[in-house]
Amino acid sequence: MNTILISSAKLVLPGHPQHGEIVDILIEQGLIRQVASKIDLDLSGVDLIEAAGATVTAGFFDLHANFGEPGLETKEDISTGTAAAAAGGYTGVAVFPNTNPPIHSRSEVALLVNSAKGNIVDVFPVGAISKKREGKELAEIYDMQSVGAIAFCDGDHAVQQAGLMGRALLYAKGIDALIISFAEDDSIAGGSQMNEGEMSTYLGMKGKPNLAESLMVSRDLFLAEYNEAPIHFTCISTAESVALIKSAKDKGLPVTCDVAAHNLVFSDAEIIGFDSNFKVNPPLRTKEDVDALVQAVKDGTIDAIVTQHTPHEIEFKNVEFQIAKDGIIGLQTALPFLLQAGLSTEEIIEKLAVRPRQIARQPVPTLTEGSVANLVVFDANEKWTLDARTNKSKSANNPYFGKELTGKVKAIVNNGQLVVNK
């Protein structure tokens, strides 16, 4: 790939001098050479991307995805995970430590960094807070940071010991590292199958109350304030959590948070069909919670939106709801989900491309002449179907698999490479 011409795309990136304009973008040797209303060029040997009606912006960045490497490559490996990310418009992905062994030492971090070298999608390891993600002893946070870990979280294991979480926040502050909290009190949430409410009562399943999350959000906000340390909450799902985080922000605390894209679209009413592809953690909440989350995205309380991409082999999903594993694949459906949730193009770009990078302390692509080309082209109105042909993941656990979706990523450019979705 030497020369690319993106033709007639609407450039949407706040702060760009041509924000909101229809432009052509010329890319040579991985650099943006020209951004103009019209670029006349001999097209022989040029990769032309016809983008009339489409949007061009900075490549999306996912703050929370799960790949299987190391140890769980039958679910997803670096190659298939980044292929799914590229198809979904992502040029950067933060990979969580839900692996076997967990990403809890410099060895696992270095493995991921080296395995992903040269890829069109940048892969950023998130190291574990505690050894083996057991919540008992701090992991080697500084060592992991020194070889490429961008943040620290125990993945889908919430840190239950307040003392350990407090020490992690204090230690991370000293080395300018970010602690990510997955907020769930196991003593309240344990053994549940779905959200606690009218639907769980109707279906006769043990429910997980909102309190399991909001109680832990409250605890970690107190710990962050006491230690004067920044904290990021991932995958919040309740109106109560939104209220707590908004209050903390109003006090001036350095707190940020994200929400999974599917929690902005689906409610616990979906569980009535016992489709295990709707089984996620945190669970799908009530319509009132969904409305509160969408409003919090729009008013800025929720800073970013993640995919929480969690692939599983068919034997873990094509089973009774009660024994199915939590999670869906989400890298390729984030854009359609957010359009379905009613977000504007500008809101989607803010939550998928700009704020996630700021939280992860990564530079936001500028799309200015002379800068490195890191961008996505997408059409908010184009329809496509997620099926065996278009799915790039090893797994197929998505409730919209086989269904027509609105909102298609046409192409991404990063690291001097181009991927075009046919």
What is the pLDDT at residue 380?
A: 98
At residue 190 the predicted structure's pLDDT band, cuts being 50, 70 and 90, is confident
pLDDT-above-90 percentage for the chain: 98
* Residues 262 and 329 occupy one common structural domain: yes
**Domain finish residue from 360, 386, 412:** 360
- The domain in which residue 153 lies consists of 59-360
The answer, yes or no, to whether residue 290 has pLDDT greater than 80, is: yes
What is the pLDDT at residue 2?
A: 80
At 151, which CATH number?
3.20.20.140
Which of residues 190 and 203 earns the better pLDDT score? 203
The token pair that represents 131 in the structure block:
């050894």
The answer, yes or no, to whether residue 232 has pLDDT greater than 60, is: yes
Measure the CA–CA gap between 32 and 3, rounded to whole angstroms. Answer: 10
For 218-224, the CB contacts below 8 A with 24+ separation are 218/244, 219/162, 219/165, 220/165, 220/181, 220/183, 221/245, 221/248, 221/253, 221/255, 223/162, 223/165, 223/166, 223/169, 224/169, 224/253, 224/254, 224/255
Measure the CA–CA gap between 30 and 245, rounded to whole angstroms. Answer: 40
Tell me the pLDDT tens digit for each residue of 235-256.
999 999 999 999 999 999 999 9
* Residues 267 and 291 occupy one common structural domain: yes
* Residues 338 and 378 occupy one common structural domain: no
Provide the whole-model pTM: 0.97
* Residues 385 and 353 occupy one common structural domain: no
Average pLDDT over residues 4-32: 97
By CB atoms closer than 10 A (0-12, 13-18, 19+), residue 266 is: buried
Measure the CA–CA gap between 292 and 271, rounded to whole angstroms. Answer: 20
What is the pLDDT at residue 56?
A: 98
* Residues 67 and 50 occupy one common structural domain: no
At 23, which CATH number?
2.30.40.10
Measure the CA–CA gap between 41 and 373, rounded to whole angstroms. Answer: 19
* Residues 19 and 104 occupy one common structural domain: no
CB 233 within 8 Å of CB 308: no
> Rounded to 5 degrees, what are φ and ψ at 201?
-65, -45
What is the pLDDT at residue 1?
A: 57
* Residues 258 and 381 occupy one common structural domain: no
pLDDT-above-70 percentage for the chain: 100
* Residues 331 and 377 occupy one common structural domain: no
* Residues 203 and 257 occupy one common structural domain: yes
When divided into structural domains, the chain yields a total of: 2
At residue 122 the predicted structure's pLDDT band, cuts being 50, 70 and 90, is very high
**Domain finish residue from 324, 341, 360:** 360
* Residues 271 and 390 occupy one common structural domain: no
* Residues 201 and 233 occupy one common structural domain: yes
Q: Is 151 helix (H, G, I), strand (E, B) or coil?
A: strand
Contacts of 338 (CB under 8 A, 6+ apart): 261, 264, 305, 347, 348, 351, 352, 407
Tell me the pLDDT tens digit for each residue of 83-100.
999 999 999 999 999 999
* Residues 185 and 257 occupy one common structural domain: yes
**Domain finish residue from 312, 333, 360:** 360
Contacts of 198 (CB under 8 A, 6+ apart): none
The answer, yes or no, to whether residue 400 has pLDDT greater than 70, is: yes
